Structure 1
Amino acid sequence: MVQQLNGGIARDMVMPHKRHAVSWSFKMTSVPVLGKFRPIVGQCCQQCTPDSLSRYRKTFGQSPRLDFHNILCVDETHTRYRGWLVRRICCVLFVSGRKVYPSPVNSRQESIYESSSVREALAANPKAPEGGESQGQPRHISTFRPLINTCISPGVLRCVGWVMTKMFAAVFASIQVNLNHFEALHRVSEEGSLLVYVYVRQSMLDSLLISLVLFCNNLRVPYTICPIRINNSFLRAILRKIGIIFLPPFASTEQDAEADNLYAPVMTSLVRELLHEGQSLSLGVSAESGQGGQWLARIRQLIKDGSVPDICLVPVGISYDCVPETHMQVSDLFGWLSSLLWRKPEGIVRIHLAQPFTLKEMYASGRCRVVEWRPLQDLLLPVIINDSTVSEFGERKMWWFPPCRSVSESTELAHQESELNTAIAVHLVFSVISCMAVMSTSLLSSLLLYRHRKGVSTSILCRDVSWLTEELLFRNKDVGFGGSLTEVVHYAVTLLAPHLIIAAVPSRQDPLIVPRPTLASTQHLDLQAQIVTHAFILEAVGACAVSAMLSEIASSGISSKVRADSADGDQVKGDLEFDVVLCQLELTERALQLCHLLPPGFRPPCQSSQNFALDAIDSLVRCGILIMEEVQKNVPICDFWKREGALTWTTTDGSYQSDSDCEEQDLLSYKISQPNQCPEMLFFLCNMLAGRLRALSWTTTFLDHLKTPLPEGDFVTQLCSHLCDTANKKKQHYESCSQEAAQAAVGTLIDLGVLMEERREGGIFLGVTPLFQSTQNRQKLQRFISQYLCD
């Protein structure tokens, strides 16, 4: 589905004119990057929420005019007045004219104190001292009073809105939103539905950007669940007047707050009271650790108990040209704000508010099912340890995900509820990432890191940028840039210049661009390129499956012919011809096994892993890497794991086969196509997942040095140190030693049964399970993971 791109949008989307730090020594013809149409992104899931999809289809993104607006660009046309003075105070007039929905506290505090869950938590906590409070409440609950009294003051909100507009103007060149997406939100708001905005945590500015965008478009500013601790009392008091709910004073991290027995019931009661008042909420979910998903579980529990009738979830995709250098834990925010006065604004932010859908429809209809969720060790351990060729069917159960770990009951019903909460959180993460636009820096980072790590000339880079942009639009992925090809590449190179080596040689017509082989630069490029990996996840999984089979064939001693027109040293020119036929069954099983290792957010849980593996192989046929052919029964193919009685899957492009046929069906197989760019494209796709897979492989070697269980925090810290040491020895692959890659590896090994969690007095300790204390089993695990690396 597409939208028409009119001439007006080109002015909003073109790269901002600024003095570039990088100069070009060549000239190229300006070729438009974007065509006449752009994809519509952010539609809700057709399988899980079909009613919401059809209900808001007419009001979501269906306007014939695609209208992007920079909310930092405020002039007299945005006010009711005109004149010389208005042009100088237009921002003040614009802020004062916005609609604000006040939120008095009233009797919120008494309702929370008298709730049954809070009283039960107080009765079960004998350590809480009694007395001393004027209202007769335990002193322990008084620490939550500032959180409960958080409100939205119209005067403070207008003042802070003006300050945020000026602050973001000093940070970003523009903040663009699609105004067509707000029509559906206004309709939902007029119907009286409760809105909950969900975003993926990237920066401490995420929640402020959402509040500012909604404020500027006359929508209710939400109460924001913010996992940040700010020590400055004045700033904390101001932000509480605009609906920011911080951590309690006794907690330095979100994990510390969740460990308190009283925090969960008080926060659940607070959310219930806010929804009863008709307020909106905004919460962020971490794509790596799943933190924030517990809030979705609490809201769902309120709906299930009948305390809240229903809510509408709105995924919000925030895309940065360059993610601001901020941290979740802020010690001196005033110092950071003052530093903005001495820097020039750079970078563009694109915000997509996706189509709203009801939470009750998602879980009550049974369409988002988790009946096949099984422990990862049941799915993969027979393949890893016993060299089994039969893949188990089911979905990966994530024990380390917060909604799962918060459930203490051991009943089967409680586990199903926990798994459903996890599925909803993972689905929201996937929905948010799906509606995020690909920025020019993300596109350039993926090309430099995954395709041209050794360097590329600017002319070839421009050609690849044009090709990759078309591929992204073809996959219904929006891009957050526009203008001519040279402007896009020039702008992206300028933002990424600190992480690049730009060499201009007089003998060359265009400069050579090489990514810096350092830890900071590689991790920055990898962080920017992750959104492209999400767009190509099907092709990446399929390419890794092909690479695994080719490596197995090569190690088995089967030769393949290589046809080359000419050869110069180590470089081979011409077409590569592989006389190898790959069995469809084996390719699909390799892809199925790999998709179990993917971290949350890469695919929705409403799609089965079997269908995902089939789609991964089909995607390689569509993009021309594989060619499908039927092999007769008397023709031998490379089928090392052929067995009888196994379920044979066919691709959607395959011919119809009836189950009633008595004779054995012909096998479907694939050959690698022969175009010159096919091997390069295959390696490009494999490199997208190589960073995470390599981090998982290096983590297995770290287990050799683990003698005793370590606290979870110390384990991750020592693991990151080990990953960095390994990358420094190899002087490459620094993207595999990031904090996110280490956390994802730990979560996978916990699910796989390699690591076990032990709850002790000092917290959660991680140790190696008895099965993998054997060196032989750890080597089998490492070989299983390394087969997907095309090194």
Structure 2
Amino acid sequence: MDTILEARLHTQQKSSQNGRETSLWSSGFGMKLEAVTPFLGKYRPFVGRCCQTCTPKSWESLFHRSIMDLGFCNAILVKEENTRFRGWLVRRLCYFLWSLEQHIPPCQDAPQKIMESTGVQNVISGRAPGGAGEGQVPNLVKKEVQRILGHIQAPPCPFLLRLFSWALLRFLNCLFLNVQLHKGQMKMVHKAAQAGSPLVFLSTHKSLLDGILLPFVLLSQGLGVLRVAWDPRACSPILRALLRKLGGLFLPPEANLPLDSSEGVLARAVIHAAMEQLLVSRQPLLIFLEELPGAQGPRLSALGQAWLGLVVEAVKVGIVPDALLVPVAITYDLVPDAPRYAHHASAPLGLWTGALAVLRSLRGWGCSHRVCVRVQLAQPFSLQEYTINARSCWGSRQTLEQLLQPIVLGQCTAVPDTEKEQEWTPVTQPLLALKEEDQCLIRRLSCHVLNASVASSAVMSTAIMATLLLFKHPKGVFLSQLLGEFSWLTEETLLRGFDVGFSGQLRCLLQHTLSLLRAHVALLRVRQGDLLVVPRPGPGLMDLARLSTELLPAFLSEAVGACAVRGLLAGRVPPEGPWELQGIELLSQNELYRQILLLLHLLPQDLLLLPPCQSSYCYCQEVLDRLIQCGLLVAEETPGSQLACDTGRQRLSAKLLWKPSGDFTDSDSDDFEEAEGRYFRLSQQSRCPDFFLFLCRLLSPLLKAFAQAAAFLHQGQLPDSESGYVEQLFQFLQDTAQEEGFFECADPNLAISAIWTFRDLGVLQQTQSPAGPMLHLSPTFASRDNQEKLEQFIRQFICG
């Protein structure tokens, strides 16, 4: 408490000295500039530019710089001005009149065209491998095709769409304060749609409401009726029938049958034909690239990859010349259905269950609990252009066991110059039906688009507040100090090219955020005019940790670099050593590169989401640049070495002197060995230790869960099934959290990530048995010595 009071007095003294002037880098490093107030909209970074490496033409042609002049709109705010009529009666019926005036283009699905398509006819006639053959009765085959097609889609009903839009508009206004949409991004998408290519929206998946909210928002903006690829596991049969009338698409169960099954071949042919007709008619399509919210498993959706594979195959065979892919990101202050799906994610949502959930949401949230939603539309890019340019970026890859296991065991020190191959998403039968090269293209395209969606996601106020309370002030902070910390972290987020999903006065914004988090935060009045904000100890910290992951992409590079620096200093300086002692050590660039690469290989690909066109070494340089820009690392010349800026006495070797002018097979920098003379120190500025510890703590839940999983290897009961061992490890994480207080590590998703990473690393091996796949310890890590080496390797990156 004394420390907190001293911090409060220090804050009050500083505020009285500086007055209204604040520091852009209030963490204590960097230049002091004029204050930027992001809450009033004076500075908004543009997010969502497509990849200049893979899609340079789209990067240049499908972006318009004037879009930043346009502001935001509330997609669910409908007034009298939004209708063609005026008057007191219109003001009371504006929702109904607005739904009647929505333009719903005719979406006549053509079953006859699907029946006459080449793929379906080849299967019926037996010309395709695994086809039905001539012996089948044509009427029976036709009925089977109609049955499969009825399971996939149905013609949208305009009356039902208008009625549902009216009811949904009233529901959303009761549940949300606003649904923000950037008008400039919408204008960019409209202009791309005028090119004539079908639009395919590829979105993140934060809530079960996403499949209803996103089509409603885009319909209200004049994009027509979206076809939404739903997960059949999430809906009951009655709800699936209703969603098909509203534009939903469902993958039939026959599509997942083996490749040599005639029913599976026919179902996949019908799906291909339906997708071809959808793209030819230029109906917009929405695909979720993330798994269902609350699902335990890989982040990339296997179903989303299957639907994306259908689009890629249609463009490849020339059904449509091109398709425009639009990454979409949706973020909430708080996910409305979070308490429900966290425990019942495996149960399909029924029609009456959904209605009861709506009533509970309206009753439980109330006006004071309404949240904000932000929908971000990234820059569209050409699928045809990506398929041409992306193949040139593919290089050799190795498994995690080949890359990391010799280093963990101390058998090798050099990190192989190759990329990590880590695919956790299972491959479905529709994707297996494609060529192996196309499967690889779809997997990397999915990762690329999901990276773009996450990079364009707006950071909400609850994520910033949860990060501050969990990783910067876990023991509490005064509200007067929290105001400055919140403003500082918001500006840091904006300076890193990430947008925020809030605006308004700072004090009102904090009051709204704390009211949303009041189940996890305690407010204590210790002095007149000020409050002490303390995160509640216990399992609620896990919810704060989940919220803080929304902010992690903005600081991921610096967090990786800080943990790598901690790992490099672990063998030289004790972790509890003073900052001045750590700053004495010289860190060479090669050592930093090696340590960053080791951590990159250890971290799951689902967390990093590195674009496939970017190599790990390029990312290492980006991490190092970020650490220098934020002031944590300072360049230092070694004693007695030639200064880096002194190029007058550098001598060229004979090979370089006599190299032909047109020979670019070797770089001139190879003989200079400039990297050998580059050294860095930790900055000694007063606020650097706190910021360094803050960055390290951002990855601490994952790394601590991995370290505890390594310590659990000698206690776990193996062999066991994967689900059984996940339960064992999760129970161990919970027990450890009760003893040590690190509840942010007691997450089942972290337990799954640790087990899958250890399986890729060769610590755990999976074998087939009559009872199914079983996990057991590999002979290499059966010894306690190697298990301790693994735990020590992980713990070197943990600080604080």
TM surpasses 0.5:
yes
CA drift of 1:145 comes to 4.0
Amino acid at match of 2:485: D
Aligned partner of 2:740 among 727, 730, 737: 730
Distance 2:421 2:310 in 1: 20
Partner SS, residue 549 of structure 2: helix
Match of 2:593 in 1: 588
Distance 2:195 2:122 in 1: 31
CA drift of 1:554 comes to 2.4
- Kept in 2, the 8 Å contact 1:196–1:311? The answer is yes
Superposed CA deviations along residues 758-778 of structure 1, whole A, max 9, x for unmatched, are 456765544443433333333
Aligned CA distance change for structure 1 residues 276 and 703 (closer, same or farther; 3 Å): farther
Distance 2:670 2:777 in 1: 49
| Alignment partner of 1:751 is 2:760 | yes
1:666-681 residue pairs with structure 2 within 5 A?
667-681=677-691
Aligned partner of 1:539 among 554, 558, 576: 558
Amino acid at match of 1:295: W
Superposed CA deviations along residues 360-399 of structure 1, whole A, max 9, x for unmatched, are 2112123662223321222212211234221112222123
Partner SS, residue 66 of structure 2: coil
Amino acid at match of 1:591: I
Amino acid at match of 1:780: K
Partner SS, residue 480 of structure 2: helix
Partner SS, residue 137 of structure 1: helix
CA drift of 1:550 comes to 1.9
Distance 1:587 1:402 in 2: 34
TM-score (norm 1): 0.83
CA drift of 1:614 comes to 1.7
Aligned CA distance change for structure 1 residues 780 and 408 (closer, same or farther; 3 Å): farther
Aligned partner of 1:462 among 457, 464, 483: 483
Amino acid at match of 1:687: R
Aligned CA distance change for structure 1 residues 772 and 108 (closer, same or farther; 3 Å): farther
CA RMSD of aligned residues (A): 3.5
Aligned partner of 1:199 among 203, 206, 209: 203
Farther-moved stretch of structure 1 (362-371 vs 705-714): 705-714
Match of 1:617 in 2: 624
CA drift of 1:202 comes to 1.4
CA drift of 1:450 comes to 1.2
- Kept in 2, the 8 Å contact 1:193–1:311? The answer is yes
- Kept in 2, the 8 Å contact 1:459–1:510? The answer is yes
Residue ranges of structure 2 left out of the alignment (5+ in a row) = 1-14, 23-36, 292-297, 643-666
Match of 1:55 in 2: 61
Partner SS, residue 208 of structure 2: coil
- Kept in 2, the 8 Å contact 1:225–1:284? The answer is yes
Match of 2:658 in 1: none
Amino acid at match of 1:172: F
Farther-moved stretch of structure 1 (714-723 vs 96-105): 714-723
Match of 2:213 in 1: 209
Aligned CA distance change for structure 1 residues 582 and 109 (closer, same or farther; 3 Å): same
TM-score (norm 2): 0.82
CA drift of 1:234 comes to 4.6
Superposed CA deviations along residues 161-215 of structure 1, whole A, max 9, x for unmatched, are 1111111112111111011111122222222211111111211111211101111
Superposed CA deviations along residues 51-103 of structure 1, whole A, max 9, x for unmatched, are 11111112xx6235332111121001111111111111111111111111222
Amino acid at match of 2:476: G
Distance 1:121 1:463 in 2: 71
Superposed CA deviations along residues 578-613 of structure 1, whole A, max 9, x for unmatched, are 322222211121111111233335432221111111
Match of 1:578 in 2: 583
CA drift of 1:440 comes to 0.6
CA drift of 1:442 comes to 0.8
Q: Percent identity?
A: 31
Aligned CA distance change for structure 1 residues 469 and 459 (closer, same or farther; 3 Å): same
Partner SS, residue 704 of structure 1: coil
Partner SS, residue 62 of structure 1: helix
Farther-moved stretch of structure 1 (75-84 vs 152-161): 152-161
Match of 1:6 in 2: none
Partner SS, residue 38 of structure 1: coil
Superposed CA deviations along residues 498-553 of structure 1, whole A, max 9, x for unmatched, are 11122112x4652111112222x222212211121100111000000111122211
Aligned CA distance change for structure 1 residues 305 and 719 (closer, same or farther; 3 Å): farther
Aligned partner of 1:474 among 480, 495, 505: 495
1:11-160 residue pairs with structure 2 within 5 A?
32-34=37-39, 36-58=42-64, 62-63=66-67, 65-106=69-110, 107=112, 110-111=115-116, 114=120, 116=122, 135-137=139-141, 144-160=148-164
Distance 2:128 2:761 in 1: 38
Partner SS, residue 493 of structure 2: helix
Match of 1:512 in 2: 532
| Alignment partner of 1:684 is 2:684 | no
Match of 2:568 in 1: 549
Match of 1:567 in 2: none
Match of 2:175 in 1: 171
Match of 1:281 in 2: 285
1:553-572 residue pairs with structure 2 within 5 A?
553-554=572-573
Partner SS, residue 174 of structure 1: strand
Aligned CA distance change for structure 1 residues 702 and 224 (closer, same or farther; 3 Å): farther
Farther-moved stretch of structure 1 (166-175 vs 264-273): 264-273
Amino acid at match of 1:275: L
Aligned partner of 1:781 among 781, 785, 790: 790
Distance 1:336 1:355 in 2: 35
Partner SS, residue 319 of structure 1: strand
- Kept in 2, the 8 Å contact 1:547–1:788? The answer is yes
Match of 2:729 in 1: 719
Farther-moved stretch of structure 1 (722-731 vs 544-553): 722-731
Aligned CA distance change for structure 1 residues 704 and 298 (closer, same or farther; 3 Å): farther
Aligned CA distance change for structure 1 residues 68 and 115 (closer, same or farther; 3 Å): farther
- Kept in 1, the 8 Å contact 2:200–2:325? The answer is yes
Distance 1:70 1:119 in 2: 53
- Kept in 1, the 8 Å contact 2:590–2:676? The answer is no
Amino acid at match of 1:536: F
Partner SS, residue 198 of structure 1: strand
Distance 1:297 1:247 in 2: 13
Residue ranges of structure 1 left out of the alignment (5+ in a row) = 1-26, 564-575, 636-656
Distance 2:465 2:131 in 1: 54
Aligned CA distance change for structure 1 residues 665 and 140 (closer, same or farther; 3 Å): closer
Farther-moved stretch of structure 1 (692-701 vs 344-353): 692-701
Aligned CA distance change for structure 1 residues 398 and 421 (closer, same or farther; 3 Å): farther
Aligned CA distance change for structure 1 residues 383 and 660 (closer, same or farther; 3 Å): closer
1:618-657 residue pairs with structure 2 within 5 A?
618-632=625-639
Aligned CA distance change for structure 1 residues 335 and 625 (closer, same or farther; 3 Å): same
Between Structure 1 and Structure 2, which shows a larger proportion of helix residues?
Answer: 2
1:370-385 residue pairs with structure 2 within 5 A?
370-385=394-409
Superposed CA deviations along residues 640-677 of structure 1, whole A, max 9, x for unmatched, are xxxxxxxxxxxxxxxxx953757987621111111221
Distance 1:121 1:713 in 2: 43
Aligned CA distance change for structure 1 residues 664 and 248 (closer, same or farther; 3 Å): closer
Aligned partner of 1:358 among 382, 385, 389: 382
Amino acid at match of 1:629: E
Aligned partner of 1:369 among 362, 387, 393: 393
CA drift of 1:497 comes to 0.8
Aligned CA distance change for structure 1 residues 272 and 665 (closer, same or farther; 3 Å): closer
| Alignment partner of 1:220 is 2:221 | no
Match of 1:698 in 2: 708
Aligned partner of 1:317 among 322, 325, 329: 329
- Kept in 1, the 8 Å contact 2:558–2:627? The answer is yes
Distance 1:717 1:264 in 2: 36
Partner SS, residue 544 of structure 1: helix
